[in-house]
Structure 1
Amino acid sequence: MTRMEPNPRSGGIEDGLAARVHDPLWLLARQWQLGEFRADDAGSPAFVDVTGETHCLDGWRAGAAGVWQPWDVAAAPIERLVEQENADPATDPRLRLDGGVRWLRTLAQVPQARAAFLAACAWPPPAPGLAARGLTAAVLARSPDGAQVARSLRLLLADGTADAEAARLGLDAAARAHVTAAAPSWLAWWDGHAPHEAQPPASTAPVTWDPHRMEHTFSLRASSLPDVELVAPRYTGGRLDWPTVDVAPPSQAPSNPARPTPLTLRGVPGPARFGGMPAQRFWEMEDAQFDAGAVDAAPHDVARLLLVAFATVYGNDWCVVPVRMPVGALIRITALTVTDVFGRSTMLGPAAAIDPAWNLFALTDDLAPGGSSPWFLLAPALPDSLEGQELESVLLARDEMANLAWAVELRVPDAAGEAADRYDSWAARPRPAPAPSPIAHYRVDTDVPDFWYPLAPEQPGDSAPVRLRLVPLARQLGGRVVEELPLGCVLEESRLPGDPLWLHEEEVPRSGVRISRRCQRARWHDGSVHTWTARRRGAGAGESSSGLVFDTVEPPTA
């Protein structure tokens, strides 16, 4: 094989940069032979006319059968509406601490009233292992509980209970007069954060939370588009973008449908630009971040080869027409007309009309041809948000050795609302030393940490699928047998009356699942600040071992 390469005779590069053509007629003949003068590409696009319709999202609901609620895209992010917990503000430890400190400052000139409220409105004892620590514990010991202060002040201002409450607090006439005068102002502040008329919710879980799958479920719609409903069957939390939702037939048409907003645009198309595309100028340096010759593609890797061919050969044949769309809207292009420099117009149809299986940024619609919807969703996703430290963490894992699945509470909020490590609390408990025994002992089962809760398999019916039900372990504490239940909010369904907490079996894979709770803070497009506590679902750490063993024999100890 003969290899042809240049052999320079001088050290300069002037001749190479000149790029002289010694026989331009030969090059023109070769272009004629290859058919480059036939003008198959026709004229270049001069302008583009776009026609379509826009439908702004204005309603959402929890689950698939909830009540539709109005929603203004410009007022609040959908992530806050979907993820925020349904907790009673009066139970927030931070708010209760803030209220107690504010009330003590109000009584700065009345020492007798300060001492009375500190004694009568002290914080309730926390659950075992959830006591506050450090500086927070010292502050809680020196301030009253804001929720109990509010309850006591309402009794002091009521006609039938004022004297009895003053006697319980031990207030004299002067202290009672000062407290009665300062109570309305403090109660107005408290009711602004924790409304007294509001009914405390039975559960702190978000209205969209599915406790049987540990995920959010909600729906979105535009009242001007009654035939389309967007359903998010399995939203794990985080950033809500267009892949989260699918198109589904509407279960309930809007009562007052609005009119769609027409979309008309005439623009000049610009060349498409992407990193690594071939340079247009002769002496322009190529982008070193992309090397088309270094793409590792096998002969049967057609998709990768087509991508390289597009980038190197047809990259300069594509144009872009920017279309301004409202955020939080469904858009459909009904007509796209391209007019070239010769004045000829060409109507372009969607790519899915030729191949329904080929689509980009298309919503899933099982009823549409090819499974893709013609509607494009410009989702009102949060640009960014600030996340606080992990308040609660629950691990769902399988234990093949024990033939069980477990719900492990790694962290839960303590009495001050700060994350407490349950393993540290369990390890710090005093344990009596085992008494020496000259004989062997038989044990039915071994001990499991108190923050491990078994998920036992059960089958509700003959043909029903197997599900995992949370069953508390019976433990012997202080000479009596008790059943310990979870302490956090993620597994609080096990403490509520009614059906016990259960999960679908497929929701606990071998890789495990981790559910966490964090405080979120974000700024929306109108400049407003939104804060909420969100739940996130992520991957676990694989299988776990609880150390549970049945039917063991302990050897004798001297």
Structure 2
Amino acid sequence: MAEKIITQLKFPATVTAWNRIEGRPRTEDFDRALKAEVRDALWMVSRQWQLGEFIGDDAGSPVFAKVHMKTTALTKYQPQAGNTQAMPSSVPLEVKVENQPIPFKLAKEIASLDIRLLMGRQWFKLLGVENLAADTLAAAKSDFVTQYAIARPDPENVDDAALCAHPQVWQQFAAVAGRRMDGYELYQYLKKSSTNHASDNISSLTDATDQTNVDDLAKRFIKWYEQLYYQPLAQENPSWKPSHLEHQFACSAPQGATEKVLIADEYYHGHLDWYNLDINPEQTPLGTVEETIPDVEQATTLTFIPSGITFAGMPHTRWWQFEHSKTNFGDIKPDTTDLNKLMLLDFGLMYANDWFMVPFTLPVGSIADVAGLSVTDVFGERFWIEAAGSGSDEDWQRWNMFSLSIRGSQDVPADNSLVLLPAAPKLLEAKPMEQIYLLRDEVANMVWGVEAQVPLATGKNKPGKEAALELKAKYQQFIPPVKQPLPLENDGSIRYQVVNSVPEHWIPFVPVHLPDSNRQIQLQRAAMPRILEGDPNLPKKVEPRTSILRQGLDSDSPKPYFLHEEEVTRAGTLISKAFQRTRWYNGRVFTWVGMRKQSGRGEGFSGLAFDQIFPKEKQSGV
């Protein structure tokens, strides 16, 4: 017992607490602290070894260099279903590939009223420039309005139901009918034949001089419209492949006695770049063109003094020199798959004066190939440096960036050329005039094309669901009400329904076999019947209202539309059609209609069902 008491007295229990830990310097002199003295030299040597600073390396700086470049240019363009043509650098490649015709007619109804009125106003503006007498000018305008009139739709005519179903469309047509001119009809008349003149059938232009002046204005009118909107020369763009919902084209550049052919067969992104093209060594030359192709192959040897690459925020080689604060590397959040961004960070954070720049200016549409680089350093040594990606194209460990892939699996040398496509750097895209979703409906075991946005005749668009309800309601107005007899009474408590209906903006696609195949299938556009209450006639087919899904319907002999099944994935497919606009390097503005394909929002449910049983509803007397 005594032993325990002594132990407690010898080691009493204590509790120690701190509320702040801080240094208390005993002097105000900080000179020694700022010297950054190294107390442990062995630690510094170990740190240098850990960072690889003891690895032997020739660190001689380059003082003189020569680079040998071989360049050529893209001179030919061939859409997948068209003839070979020259590819001028005065037109962006996206414009040439994507341009779609403006739909001036849909389902044999007038469309794009806003552009028609715009063309009519421009024609009257041109007429005002001529020195026509005031009474002659007024009479001529009245005659043009009569000759190229805009018809007023009749709400009582079933053929005008598509125009009169939407109040805003009918109101605009009623406002301009008989008051404004359809400028597109004049343009069509002038383009139909070289013997057609603007003064034809205009009774107020009796003077020969006035007729000649007006006919000369027609050339300016055509030039104005074709510069305002870039349209395909044919009725349809031959690069667009509706069955795949993408563009396919090829372009080539002279390469000695043959051609380097670049192929793009899956372009739908909306912006062209090097990754859209592949080299096809088995592709035959694209053929001859009517235009004279200049000699674009050149070999250039450039002598220069290498200059180091500097950028804001780069690590500085001096100990107390702070980097520029405009670049915040901590704000960069790359994903693990962002290889380019990770390499940029690696370059910016680990290297300071190890990179040098070789300036070499290329015109758009060029293909450049570095034949070699000769570098002389400060020790007088000369090195011949080849491209980093040299070697076999099948070598998976080959360093490769911004270079084209070679199709096939043959062991061929890699292509290290750099393609500078004549592509627009930035585009302005309007709201979609048409937009559809292609989705799978597993409940109904079908594929549907859902028209999310449909074009109206005025040039505006409307949600497909609202437009479908308004059009069906308009057709229902033409069905006179009929007094239906009461069904026979029975003791059954349920009723049987063979099939129900779906909204009219849901266009079905059914599977059909490929020709000469009993296994592979493709999707064919079908149609649902339009069920109107009290209609004694056979139901008519519901036709799509977008030009995307009306493929083949508006031709003189309607054709079916087939779609490859793999184009409709589980996530669905979204296709948009909208006006695009860009400004080219020479200042010219290009406006065209382009297509875009993107991933959808997943599967959908149309509500279509067969063989259903419902509780019987009680019938009330009449």
TM-score range normalised by the length of the shorter chain: 0.7 to 0.9
Look up the SS of the partner of 1:456 in the other structure: strand
Q: How does 1:32-51 map to 2 (within 5 A)?
A: 40-51=57-68
Kept in 1, the 8 Å contact 2:152–2:174? The answer is no
- 1:378 offset after TM fit, Å? 1.6
Q: How does 1:340-359 map to 2 (within 5 A)?
A: 340-353=377-390, 356=395, 357-359=398-400
> Among 397, 404, 413, which residue is 2:439 paired with?
397
The answer for the alignment partner of 2:93 in structure 1 is 78
The answer for the alignment partner of 2:72 in structure 1 is 55
User: For residues 232 and 384 of structure 2, what CA distance do their matches in structure 1 show?
Assistant: 57
1:248 aligns with 2:303: no
Q: How does 1:159-308 map to 2 (within 5 A)?
A: 184=215, 191-192=222-223, 205-224=236-255, 226-249=258-281, 250-252=283-285, 258=295, 260-273=297-310, 277-285=314-322, 289-290=328-329
Kept in 2, the 8 Å contact 1:88–1:204? The answer is no
Q: For residues 178 and 135 of structure 1, do their structure 2 counterparts lie closer, same or farther at Cα, with a shift above 3 Å needed?
A: farther
The answer for the alignment partner of 2:8 in structure 1 is none
Kept in 2, the 8 Å contact 1:397–1:542? The answer is yes
Kept in 2, the 8 Å contact 1:87–1:205? The answer is no
Give the TM-score taking structure 1 as reference length: 0.79
* 1:304-340: CA deviation from partner (whole Å, max 9, x where unpaired): 9999877655554333323222221111111111110
1:127 aligns with 2:162: yes
* 1:374-397: CA deviation from partner (whole Å, max 9, x where unpaired): 211122221212222211111111
1:517 aligns with 2:577: yes
Q: For residues 444 and 276 of structure 1, do their structure 2 counterparts lie closer, same or farther at Cα, with a shift above 3 Å needed?
A: farther
Kept in 1, the 8 Å contact 2:511–2:522? The answer is yes
User: For residues 275 and 419 of structure 1, what CA distance do their matches in structure 2 show?
Assistant: 47
Q: Which stretch shows the higher mean deviation, 79-88 or 324-333?
A: 79-88
Look up the SS of the partner of 1:453 in the other structure: strand
The answer for the alignment partner of 2:3 in structure 1 is none
Kept in 2, the 8 Å contact 1:405–1:456? The answer is yes
Q: Note the residue ranges of structure 1 that are not aligned, 5 or more in a row.
A: 1-5, 167-173
- 1:555 offset after TM fit, Å? 2.1
User: For residues 572 and 607 of structure 2, what CA distance do their matches in structure 1 show?
Assistant: 17
> Among 58, 69, 84, which residue is 1:68 paired with?
84
Write the letter of the residue equivalent to 1:390: P
Write the letter of the residue equivalent to 1:15: R
Look up the SS of the partner of 1:493 in the other structure: coil
User: For residues 401 and 354 of structure 1, what CA distance do their matches in structure 2 show?
Assistant: 53
Q: For residues 464 and 130 of structure 1, do their structure 2 counterparts lie closer, same or farther at Cα, with a shift above 3 Å needed?
A: farther
Kept in 2, the 8 Å contact 1:46–1:341? The answer is yes
- 1:535 offset after TM fit, Å? 1.0
Larger radius of gyration, structure 1 or 2?
2
The answer for the alignment partner of 1:474 in structure 2 is 529
- Percent of residue pairs bearing the same amino acid type: 31
User: For residues 393 and 282 of structure 1, what CA distance do their matches in structure 2 show?
Assistant: 59
The answer for the alignment partner of 1:442 in structure 2 is 496
Q: Note the residue ranges of structure 2 that are not aligned, 5 or more in a row.
A: 1-22, 106-110, 128-135, 154-159
User: For residues 353 and 542 of structure 2, what CA distance do their matches in structure 1 show?
Assistant: 68
- 1:130 offset after TM fit, Å? 6.2
Size of the alignment, in residue pairs? 531
* 1:395-431: CA deviation from partner (whole Å, max 9, x where unpaired): 1111111111111122222112221322112234547
- 1:520 offset after TM fit, Å? 1.5
The answer for the alignment partner of 1:485 in structure 2 is 543
Kept in 2, the 8 Å contact 1:121–1:148? The answer is no
* 1:60-94: CA deviation from partner (whole Å, max 9, x where unpaired): 1101x642211221x11111111111458797533
Q: For residues 482 and 502 of structure 1, do their structure 2 counterparts lie closer, same or farther at Cα, with a shift above 3 Å needed?
A: same
User: Could you say what the CA RMSD is over the residues aligned between the two structures, in angstroms?
Assistant: 4.7
- 1:244 offset after TM fit, Å? 1.1
Kept in 2, the 8 Å contact 1:238–1:536? The answer is yes
The answer for the alignment partner of 1:424 in structure 2 is 466
- 1:8 offset after TM fit, Å? 6.1
* 1:460-508: CA deviation from partner (whole Å, max 9, x where unpaired): 2335622111111222344332112222221222404364111111100
- 1:229 offset after TM fit, Å? 0.7
Write the letter of the residue equivalent to 1:364: S
Kept in 1, the 8 Å contact 2:274–2:419? The answer is yes
User: For residues 36 and 154 of structure 1, what CA distance do their matches in structure 2 show?
Assistant: 75
Q: For residues 315 and 186 of structure 1, do their structure 2 counterparts lie closer, same or farther at Cα, with a shift above 3 Å needed?
A: closer
Q: For residues 123 and 252 of structure 1, do their structure 2 counterparts lie closer, same or farther at Cα, with a shift above 3 Å needed?
A: farther
User: For residues 239 and 306 of structure 2, what CA distance do their matches in structure 1 show?
Assistant: 43
Q: For residues 263 and 92 of structure 1, do their structure 2 counterparts lie closer, same or farther at Cα, with a shift above 3 Å needed?
A: farther
Q: For residues 139 and 39 of structure 1, do their structure 2 counterparts lie closer, same or farther at Cα, with a shift above 3 Å needed?
A: same
- 1:261 offset after TM fit, Å? 1.2
1:324 aligns with 2:361: yes
Write the letter of the residue equivalent to 2:539: V
* 1:275-315: CA deviation from partner (whole Å, max 9, x where unpaired): 765332211235683369x9999xxxx99999987765555
1:452 aligns with 2:491: no
The answer for the alignment partner of 2:520 in structure 1 is 465
User: For residues 64 and 267 of structure 2, what CA distance do their matches in structure 1 show?
Assistant: 41
User: For residues 463 and 521 of structure 1, what CA distance do their matches in structure 2 show?
Assistant: 46
- 1:553 offset after TM fit, Å? 2.2
User: For residues 47 and 185 of structure 2, what CA distance do their matches in structure 1 show?
Assistant: 94
The answer for the alignment partner of 1:543 in structure 2 is 603
Look up the SS of the partner of 2:406 in the other structure: coil
Write the letter of the residue equivalent to 1:398: R
Kept in 1, the 8 Å contact 2:112–2:457? The answer is no
User: For residues 377 and 114 of structure 2, what CA distance do their matches in structure 1 show?
Assistant: 66
Q: How does 1:10-21 map to 2 (within 5 A)?
A: 10=27, 13-20=30-37
* 1:46-72: CA deviation from partner (whole Å, max 9, x where unpaired): 122110200011211101x64221122
The answer for the alignment partner of 2:591 in structure 1 is 531
The answer for the alignment partner of 2:176 in structure 1 is 140
User: For residues 360 and 377 of structure 1, what CA distance do their matches in structure 2 show?
Assistant: 12
